[in-house]
Amino acid sequence: MAERQVLFLSGAHGEALAVERAEGAYLYTRDGRKLLDGSGGAIVVNIGQGRSELADLARAQLLDLNYVLPLWVSPARERLVARLARWTPAGIDRFFFTSGGSESVESALKFAFLYHRVRGNSGKTKVISRDLSYHGNTLGALSASGNRARRADFEHVLFDWPRIPPSYCYRCPWGRSYPGCGLECAQALERVIAQHGAERIAAFIAEPMVGASGGVLPPVPEYWPRIAEICRRNDIVLIADEVMTGFGRTGKRFAVEHWGVMPDIIVGGKGLTGGYVPMGMIAVGERLFEVCEQAKADFMFFTYSAHPLACAIADRVLEIMEREQLVEHAAAIGSHLGARLNAELGGHPMTGEIRGAGLFWGVEIVADRAARRPFAPALHAARKVLSAAMERGLILYPAAGMAGVGGGDAIMIAPPFVIGEAEVEFIAATLRQCFDTVRRTLPSA
Ligand SMILES: Cc1ncc(COP(=O)(O)O)c(C=O)c1O
């Protein structure tokens, strides 16, 4: 079997699809099926697939210039940087480019350490992050990740950094309810800083809305402003990991805009190029950058940093989003999708909570709605819903483990921004059928 030689898949995502081609939001398989990609791959394909203008651009770029030392400038990089500066919040407009999300998180962490070191604070060596988080596959990024399953085999070599619970009212670890909760989830940051000493903490990193580790967890409105204030007061670099949420996914260009929060560093990947070529980036705030620049600090590049092809594609992907007003469309069609999910699934006995924004939705599923009791992990409830959806022509993304050691299952719905009402109807109606079918096969309350 040829695929045995190249894949490490455990089968966690079910059948390995043989995908031959794609167009817009649809995939076409070797065995003749047409599937709606309801999660844009790993929540990557924001502008849809198969755009010929990007293929033409790629050809032209490769003929002009296919590689340049990252220290030098290329016209494609100049264009991208100018455009990105209009996308990121004002004052966060110094960029460093990588080949993906993990490298970008790694770079953000390194930049935070560097920023403190050049100011004589070499003791700031720890990073605070959150449970139910994923920041990437490399050792630094995985050390900051709270995703139990993905850490499990590597715990023994990861950095020993502290974590706090995320803002997740449905399963509040303090058993409190919003808004009378005193925002324990944000205060937890204050407590952990005091415990370790602010002089030891370099950065706090979090996803503005948790992605695949929680099944989409938007925080309460006061959460991010409070977190930002705590970080600022303690001289801690605030890193917003927008690898999944960035570039329009939540209906804003960056998710931090929902709360008007200014992080020190924004991390991006996925939607930056929409899956056309690999690329990630960090956007660093002027304040941090100037300190490092004045100290003449060096920051080693990756061989493929600011690759001309990636820069050209990213610039055009962002231009397409502007031209077609895809972020605005994601906000509008996304709120319709949310309403339809609520209408079809809101009262279903298997639905725990429906949450999200823009085209970033999660449905947590439970065995017992009243008790919020998850299905036993061995039942693989989310995977069963995914398989049922796949049989009906719909691809979705799983999330598991948000209920702690007791399990927890959620389905993520994050289609490309080019979907219309027909796709929304199909997703909502198909999920309803899948919930009905799967519930009959699972032991419940
Ligand atoms: C929030 C977040 N950060 C970082 C990463 C890692 O990105 P990559 O897989 O491109 O290395 C991911 C991947 O899913 C992610 O969702």
The CATH number of whichever domain residue 26 belongs to comes to: 3.90.1150.10
Answer positive or negative: Cα dihedral of 82, 86, 88, 94.
positive
Preceding amide of 179 cis, omega within 30: yes
E strand or H helix at 150: helix 148-151
Taking the C-alpha atoms of residue 194 and residue 293, their distance in angstroms, rounded to an integer, is 31
Q: Which of 323, 339, 364 is the last residue of a domain?
A: 323
Nearest CA to ligand 1 atom 9: 101
Sheet holding 201-206, edge to edge: 94-98, 280-284, 265-268, 237-241, 201-206, 126-130, 163-164
pLDDT in tens, 175-230: 999 999 999 999 999 999 999 999 999 999 999 999 999 999 999 999 999 999 99
Mutate to test the pocket of ligand 1, among 270, 273, 281 (most ligand atoms within 8 A of CB): 270
Nearest CA to ligand 1 atom 8: 101
Per-residue confidence (pLDDT) for residue 11, from 0 to 100: 52
**Any idea which of 334-338, 363-367, 402-406 has the lowest mean pLDDT?**
402-406
Assess whether 108 and 202 both reside in one domain.
Answer: yes
Per-residue confidence (pLDDT) for residue 74, from 0 to 100: 97
Ligand 1 midpoint to CA 279 (Å): 11
pLDDT in tens, 325-346: 999 999 999 999 999 999 999 9
CA 275-215-138 angle, to 5 degrees, is 55
Mutate to test the pocket of ligand 1, among 130, 135, 281 (most ligand atoms within 8 A of CB): 135
Per-residue confidence (pLDDT) for residue 136, from 0 to 100: 98
pLDDT mean across residues, the chain: 95
Mutate to test the pocket of ligand 1, among 39, 104, 107, 134 (most ligand atoms within 8 A of CB): 134
- Can you tell me which atom of ligand 1 is nearest the CA of 207? 1
- Can you tell me which atom of ligand 1 is nearest the CA of 136? 6
Ligand 1 midpoint to CA 136 (Å): 5
Note whether 134 and 209 are within 8 A (CB): no
Per-residue confidence (pLDDT) for residue 339, from 0 to 100: 98
Per-residue confidence (pLDDT) for residue 3, from 0 to 100: 56
Assess whether 279 and 384 both reside in one domain.
Answer: no
Please, which pLDDT band fits residue 132 given cuts at 50, 70 and 90?
Answer: very high
Coil, helix or strand for 107?
Answer: helix
Assess whether 116 and 129 both reside in one domain.
Answer: yes
Assess whether 201 and 121 both reside in one domain.
Answer: yes
Range 93-112 average pLDDT: 98
Predicted confidence (pLDDT) at residue 82 exceeds the cutoff of 80: yes
Assess whether 344 and 298 both reside in one domain.
Answer: no
Please, which pLDDT band fits residue 404 given cuts at 50, 70 and 90?
Answer: confident
Per-residue confidence (pLDDT) for residue 8, from 0 to 100: 61
Mutate to test the pocket of ligand 1, among 8, 46, 102 (most ligand atoms within 8 A of CB): 102
Assess whether 23 and 86 both reside in one domain.
Answer: no
Predicted confidence (pLDDT) at residue 443 exceeds the cutoff of 90: no
Note whether 291 and 56 are within 8 A (CB): no
Cα dist. 419→235, 242, 314, 329, 427 in Å? 43, 22, 21, 9, 11
Task: Extract the tokens encoding 130.
Answer: 């959150």
Assess whether 179 and 266 both reside in one domain.
Answer: yes
Mutate to test the pocket of ligand 1, among 39, 150, 210, 243 (most ligand atoms within 8 A of CB): 243
pLDDT in tens, 283-324: 999 999 999 999 999 999 999 999 999 999 999 999 999 999
Tell me which DSSP letter residue 253 carries: S
What is the residue type of 246?
G
Range 148-157 average pLDDT: 95
Predicted confidence (pLDDT) at residue 6 exceeds the cutoff of 80: no
Assess whether 13 and 98 both reside in one domain.
Answer: no
Nearest CA to ligand 1 atom 4: 135
Assess whether 107 and 188 both reside in one domain.
Answer: yes
Residue among 77, 118, 47, 108 at smallest CA distance from 319? 47
pLDDT in tens, 31-51: 999 999 999 999 999 999 999
Note whether 39 and 244 are within 8 A (CB): no
Note whether 402 and 171 are within 8 A (CB): yes
Taking the C-alpha atoms of residue 372 and residue 369, their distance in angstroms, rounded to an integer, is 5
Assess whether 228 and 364 both reside in one domain.
Answer: no
Assess whether 264 and 299 both reside in one domain.
Answer: yes
Cα dist. 75→64, 308, 312, 315, 388 in Å? 10, 8, 9, 11, 47
- Can you tell me which atom of ligand 1 is nearest the CA of 100? 10
Ligand 1 midpoint to CA 151 (Å): 14
Q: What is the dihedral of CA 333, 335, 339, 341, to 10 degrees?
A: 70
Ligand 1 midpoint to CA 445 (Å): 35
**Any idea which of 13-17, 66-70, 257-261 has the lowest mean pLDDT?**
13-17
Range 258-264 average pLDDT: 97
Q: Which of 289, 323, 357 is the last residue of a domain?
A: 323
Residue among 328, 350, 341 at smallest CA distance from 38? 341
Ligand 1 midpoint to CA 162 (Å): 20
Predicted confidence (pLDDT) at residue 7 exceeds the cutoff of 90: no
Nearest CA to ligand 1 atom 3: 135
Taking the C-alpha atoms of residue 260 and residue 304, their distance in angstroms, rounded to an integer, is 33
Taking the C-alpha atoms of residue 282 and residue 263, their distance in angstroms, rounded to an integer, is 12
Per-residue confidence (pLDDT) for residue 9, from 0 to 100: 56
Taking the C-alpha atoms of residue 350 and residue 344, their distance in angstroms, rounded to an integer, is 12
Counting the structural domains of the chain, the total is 2
- Can you tell me which atom of ligand 1 is nearest the CA of 103? 11
- The ligand 1 site (C-beta within 6 Å) comprises 42, 100-102, 105, 134-137, 207, 211, 241, 243-244, 269
Please, which pLDDT band fits residue 16 given cuts at 50, 70 and 90?
Answer: confident
The CATH number of whichever domain residue 136 belongs to comes to: 3.40.640.10
* Helix segments in 8-147, DSSP class H: 40-43, 52-64, 75-87, 101-118, 139-143
- Return the percentage of the chain with pLDDT > 90, whole number: 94
Range 117-136 average pLDDT: 97
CA-derived radius of gyration, the chain: 21
Per-residue confidence (pLDDT) for residue 445, from 0 to 100: 46
Taking the C-alpha atoms of residue 37 and residue 43, their distance in angstroms, rounded to an integer, is 10
Ligand 1 midpoint to CA 101 (Å): 5
Q: Which of 290, 323, 356 is the last residue of a domain?
A: 323
Taking the C-alpha atoms of residue 392 and residue 251, their distance in angstroms, rounded to an integer, is 27
E strand or H helix at 184: helix 184-196
Nearest CA to ligand 1 atom 13: 136
What is the residue type of 68?
V
Where would I find the beta strands (DSSP E) of 110-209? 126-130, 163-164, 201-206
E strand or H helix at 14: none
Kindly give the pairing relationship between strand 397-400 and strand 394-395: unpaired
* First-to-final CA distance of the chain: 42
- Can you tell me which atom of ligand 1 is nearest the CA of 105? 4
Burial of 387 (0-12, 13-18, 19+ CB in 10 A): middle
Coil, helix or strand for 94?
Answer: strand
Task: Extract the tokens encoding 187.
Answer: 């205060």
- Can you tell me which atom of ligand 1 is nearest the CA of 212? 16
Per-residue confidence (pLDDT) for residue 240, from 0 to 100: 98
Assess whether 335 and 294 both reside in one domain.
Answer: no
Domain assignment of residue 150, given as a range: 54-323
Range 382-410 average pLDDT: 94
Taking the C-alpha atoms of residue 204 and residue 233, their distance in angstroms, rounded to an integer, is 13
Phi-psi region of 14 (alpha: psi -120 to 50; beta: other; left: phi over 0): left
Note whether 179 and 211 are within 8 A (CB): no
Mutate to test the pocket of ligand 1, among 8, 143, 244 (most ligand atoms within 8 A of CB): 244
Tell me which DSSP letter residue 300 carries: P
Ligand 1 midpoint to CA 333 (Å): 25
Taking the C-alpha atoms of residue 85 and residue 396, their distance in angstroms, rounded to an integer, is 33
